[in-house]
Amino acid sequence: MPFDPLVTAVVETSLNTLIKDDPELGRRLARLKGQVIQVHLKEINKTLTFVFSQQIDVLANYEGEPDCYLSLNLAVLPELRDQSNITKLIKQDKLVLEGDIQLAQKFSQLMTDCKPDIEEWLSRATGDVVAHTLVKGAENLGQFVKAQASKHQNHLAQVLTEEWKIAPAPLEVAYFCDQVDDLKSHAARVEAKLNQLLERA
């Protein structure tokens, strides 16, 4: 199976499953009915076309004219929800937008709110209590790993600067920078005096 149809099928199925599970997302989809939005993803240099009806159809190839065209990085998509960000993103070359701005905002809101509720999905297979326990356990494990990584990073920094003396401590770096600045200004004063003496001679 070619890469493009596989990607579009995965995106389409995922979005439609999430929308089917959430009535609020279904209402937002209804507001986009009959619209076509084309999104060029800069990270992978691919263009996906979203055709809205009772569901979302995602196409890799589309010959018609879209109602709205966006070219952006995926990280920029949530920022489109606020209209005041759009002009800023265009000026910063983070966004190319052609067509209806409000349509782009509705699309952005739908996409950023399409987040899977893992606990809800797990509860269908395992029951509410087990699903809640698993999700909370995963969250706690994630926080523990993050805290341990931060602790080890701080410990390594202390070992490098204080015990092994491989890297200078932050205060030593600041002191060195101050000395360099002093030396620069002293050299500038000497150079100015030297120029005055040369002019007199």
User: Range of 182's domain?
Assistant: 119-200
Do 36 and 84 lie in one domain? The reply is yes
Q: At what angle do helices 128-158 and 118-126 cross, to 10 degrees?
A: 130
**Residues 6 or more apart in contact with residue 90 via CB below 8 angstroms:** 96, 97
Of 93, 116, 139, which residue is a domain's last? Answer: 116
Tell me the pTM: 0.56
Identify the burial level of 99 via C-beta atoms within 10 angstroms of its C-beta, where 0-12 means exposed, 13-18 middle and 19 or more buried. Answer: middle
Cβ of 19: how many Cβ atoms within 10 Å? 21
Of 73, 95, 116, which residue is a domain's last? Answer: 116
Do 93 and 152 lie in one domain? The reply is no
- Confidence at residue 1, expressed as pLDDT on a 0 to 100 scale: 42
**Is 86:104 a contact under the CB 8 Å cutoff?**
yes
Do 164 and 107 lie in one domain? The reply is no
Q: At 122, which amino acid appears? A: L
Q: Supply 117's token pair.
A: 């509720």
Do 47 and 92 lie in one domain? The reply is yes
CA dihedral (140, 141, 144, 148) in degrees, to 10, reads -170
Mean pLDDT by 10 residues, the chain (201 residues): 72 84 83 90 86 90 89 80 77 85 82 66 64 68 77 75 70 84 88 83 68
Q: Is the C-alpha dihedral spanning 81, 86, 88, 94 positive or negative?
A: positive
Of 96, 116, 136, which residue is a domain's last? Answer: 116
- Confidence at residue 147, expressed as pLDDT on a 0 to 100 scale: 79
- Domains held by the chain: number: 2
Alpha-carbon Rg for the chain, nearest whole angstrom, is 28
- Confidence at residue 134, expressed as pLDDT on a 0 to 100 scale: 67
